[in-house]
Structure 1
Amino acid sequence: MRRVGTHEPSINNWYKCLFFRKLSSLFNRYMIDIQSFKQYLLYEKRYSEHTIAAYSTDVRYTLDYVAQLYQITQLSQIEPFHLRSWVVDLMARKQGARSINRKISSIRTFFKYQIRRGVVSKDPTIKLRAVKVPRRLPNYLQEHEITFLDVSVVELSDLTEMRDILILKTLYACGLRRAELINLTVSSIDMEKRCLTVTGKGDKMRLVPISKSYAHEMIHYLAEREKALPPSEYLFMTDKGKKLYPKFVYNLVRKYLTRYSTTTQKGPHTLRHTFATHLSNRGADLNAIKDLLGHANLSATQIYTHNNIEKLKRAYAAHPKA
């Protein structure tokens, strides 16, 4: 008999039920080895830890959805219409297009892996199509909003402040992703050649030039750090001498951008957008910007040709009817 005051979970709130379960249905009942999938993503696809965690979660939630709604008991029973229903449900719950596309990518990668293992013989994701993503211009800082980085680390006395300013300068002056910054080591920087070796997505390495003043400030910072903290292979550390972590970097950037900028987006990637936009606005070659950012193709870089309305006005002024 159903107890008073209880209710059965509906399809629309199945996600909430997941958090109260002790076991994940498909992965535990049918012994699907999520660990081997993670190892595949790590060692063969060379995805980052963040991406691996996101893909694993996406796959688990997707399989739970089809198991509940369609009483699926084996991977081989999943058909394309099951997954199309899942995508429609995500859209109905106002999931963002980018988020949905990442989930589609996750489940597609998972089934390709299961086909390779021989667990399934056909790919139910074959008819899935990516959701159209609205074109969104990146947020960036105006040049006058970045002048707080004009301060030289050499003039500072506090080691924490030195580190914070250098982190911000590295993100802005080198256009790094947050994970790239976190994984920088002391050996990543070549003071003599004045360049930074950056390991990007898929373990792809690129060289990013650094200025003479940046190199001078980094030498000063590392010398001061050596006096106060135990040795470390990493270029930047927390106050306790540990490796940086994503939330640390995000909070640091947000603190400074809240203080000095009016932009709505205040995370580390905003400084990467600012790096690329300022280069584009000052006439840098688009292919050079692509290489500096570590983009795989030019289409990802073209968005930074977006906002320079003053440049467009100057070009338009050449028109005979302007």
Structure 2
Amino acid sequence: MSTNLQAYQDYLVKEKNYSPLTVRAYLDDILSFQEYLKENSLTLEEVVYPNIRNWIVILVEQNMSTTSVNRKVSALKSYYKFLLKVKQIAINPLLKHKSLKTAKKVQIPFSEKELQDVFVENEYPIDFEGVRNRFVIELFYTTGIRRAELINLKMSSVNELQKTIRVLGKRNKERIIPLLDCTIELYKLYKEQRNHLESIKDDEVLILSKTGNKVSESLVYRLINDYFSTVSKKEKKSPHVLRHSFATHLLNNGADLNSVKELLGHASLSSTQIYTHSSLAELKKVYQDAHPRNKK
């Protein structure tokens, strides 16, 4: 790895607090661009925007998705901003670049009935896995946390007395989320079953597999997909859809956007606003019922 790239890696880790996976993704994207430069006998310092545009065209012609192309260019733009900061270059060739337009995918949340049914229609044996599975679904739906956030929860994250849970989100940003009484009761039941495991590899980890290890991302995804397959015919059944459902149902039932933003751990309202489209039908109904011009 070049000296500049090593310095950039240190910058992402120490100053930007990016996760190891994010850092690895950024470096891979930059290395792929450097391969293109090598093939065309160019250096980072002499690159001009038409060179980058040509690289983008090549990526598109390779049938790479627009999202992936934008991600690669975003990583490169970040790298050039760093090189400008350390005075390795005088001009950022990507300064005026605009991302390729992507078709927005509508994320369809689970309905409130599907959420009610998932707790009623499935069997949750009073053993470790049965209680854990129900507790995981409950946590996702009543807190809106991300899959990675759930996996990294500690026993100390839950405060039974204050009925809150401390979550470490993206870029190590911590937030406190209130817990419902039903979630606290499930937590107590889960904790009791957890104590009966034969061996626990890490006492601090909250959500464990039956072998006492921290659960994997694939196990959590499979758990949600399997349980919701019994109550929903939606194409996508994942932890993220549960997070989406959490936000949508709160908005549908009167929660304000700023409160939902804080609960989700979003840095800006624009990130939270993607969930408001699902509330449009409810908003139309309220509007039709409430507007004086619609009274007969």
> TM-score, normalization: structure 1?
0.81
Q: Of 23, 38, 42, which residue of structure 2 is paired with 1:67?
A: 38
**Is the partner of 1:198 in helix, strand or coil?**
strand
- How much has 1:42 moved relative to structure 2? 1.9
**Distance in 2 between residues matched to 1:222 and 1:321, nearest whole Å:** 54
- How much has 1:36 moved relative to structure 2? 4.0
Partner of 2:50: 81
Query: Mean alpha-carbon deviation: is it higher for 193-202 or for 238-247?
Result: 238-247
Q: Of 157, 160, 179, which residue of structure 2 is paired with 1:191?
A: 160
Go from structure 1 to structure 2 and tell me whether the alpha carbon gap of 1:247 and 1:41 turns closer, same or farther (over 3 Å shift): farther
Go from structure 1 to structure 2 and tell me whether the alpha carbon gap of 1:147 and 1:98 turns closer, same or farther (over 3 Å shift): same
Partner of 1:146: 115
Alignment-mate amino acid for residue 128 of structure 1: H
- How much has 1:254 moved relative to structure 2? 1.9
**Is the partner of 1:259 in helix, strand or coil?**
coil
Deviations along 1:24-51, one digit per CA (max 9) or x if unpaired, are xxx5xxx356444333222211112332
Q: Of 58, 67, 75, which residue of structure 2 is paired with 1:106?
A: 75
**Distance in 2 between residues matched to 1:239 and 1:114, nearest whole Å:** 48
**Distance in 2 between residues matched to 1:117 and 1:302, nearest whole Å:** 36
**Distance in 2 between residues matched to 1:65 and 1:259, nearest whole Å:** 48
Q: Of 285, 305, 315, which residue of structure 1 is paired with 2:287?
A: 315
Gaps of 5+ in 2: none
Go from structure 1 to structure 2 and tell me whether the alpha carbon gap of 1:49 and 1:254 turns closer, same or farther (over 3 Å shift): farther
* 1:132 paired to 2:101: yes
**Distance in 2 between residues matched to 1:167 and 1:246, nearest whole Å:** 13
- How much has 1:120 moved relative to structure 2? 3.5
**Distance in 2 between residues matched to 1:260 and 1:32, nearest whole Å:** 54
**Is the partner of 2:177 in helix, strand or coil?**
strand
Deviations along 1:235-260, one digit per CA (max 9) or x if unpaired, are 11222222223222222222222232
Contact 1:59 1:107 in 2 (8 A): yes
Partner of 2:254: 283
Go from structure 1 to structure 2 and tell me whether the alpha carbon gap of 1:46 and 1:191 turns closer, same or farther (over 3 Å shift): same
**Is the partner of 1:234 in helix, strand or coil?**
coil
**Distance in 2 between residues matched to 1:138 and 1:185, nearest whole Å:** 30
**Distance in 1 between residues matched to 2:30 and 2:292, nearest whole Å:** 54
Q: Of 172, 185, 206, which residue of structure 2 is paired with 1:203?
A: 172
**Is the partner of 1:279 in helix, strand or coil?**
helix
Contact 2:108 2:278 in 1 (8 A): no
Alignment-mate amino acid for residue 32 of structure 2: Y
Give percent identity, aligned residues only: 32
> TM-score, normalization: structure 2?
0.88
Alignment-mate amino acid for residue 185 of structure 2: H
Deviations along 1:116-163, one digit per CA (max 9) or x if unpaired, are 444434322223222223333322101111124536xxx732211221
**Distance in 1 between residues matched to 2:133 and 2:6, nearest whole Å:** 37
**Is the partner of 2:175 in helix, strand or coil?**
strand
**Is the partner of 1:129 in helix, strand or coil?**
coil
**Is the partner of 1:306 in helix, strand or coil?**
helix
Partner of 1:48: 19
**Distance in 1 between residues matched to 2:222 and 2:262, nearest whole Å:** 28
Alignment-mate amino acid for residue 285 of structure 2: K
Q: Of 99, 111, 115, which residue of structure 1 is paired with 2:84?
A: 115
Go from structure 1 to structure 2 and tell me whether the alpha carbon gap of 1:187 and 1:67 turns closer, same or farther (over 3 Å shift): same
Contact 2:118 2:231 in 1 (8 A): no
**Is the partner of 1:240 in helix, strand or coil?**
coil
Query: Mean alpha-carbon deviation: is it higher for 170-179 or for 309-318?
Result: 309-318
Number of residues of Structure 1 aligned to a counterpart in Structure 2: 288
Gaps of 5+ in 1: 1-26
